[in-house]
Amino acid sequence: MDLLRGEASRIAKGSKIDWWIDRADAGTRFCFEDAKAKEIFASTCGSFGIPCRDG
């Protein structure tokens, strides 16, 4: 989880946007103000072998 938080922070900082974490019924939701940053984060998760789903 710390790895994903670090990546989310790095992506948001690079995009100059805010991000936050919401608890979900199953898992954790990483939220970004920008759709492009969200896509980059999903790709990053995939490169770590972590499934990412929208919703």
Q: Where are the domains of the chain?
A: 2-47
Closest CA to 34 of 17, 22, 21, 20: 17
Q: What is the pTM assigned to this prediction?
A: 0.86
Contact by Cβ (8 Å): 15, 37: yes
**Does the pLDDT of residue 7 top 90, yes or no?**
yes
C-alpha angle 50/51/54, rounded to 5°? 135
Mean pLDDT computed over 4-20: 97
* Residue type, position 19, single letter: W
Place of tokens 């995009």: 15
Say what percent of the chain tops pLDDT 90.
Answer: 80
How many Cα atoms within 13 Å fall on the side-chain side of residue 4? 20
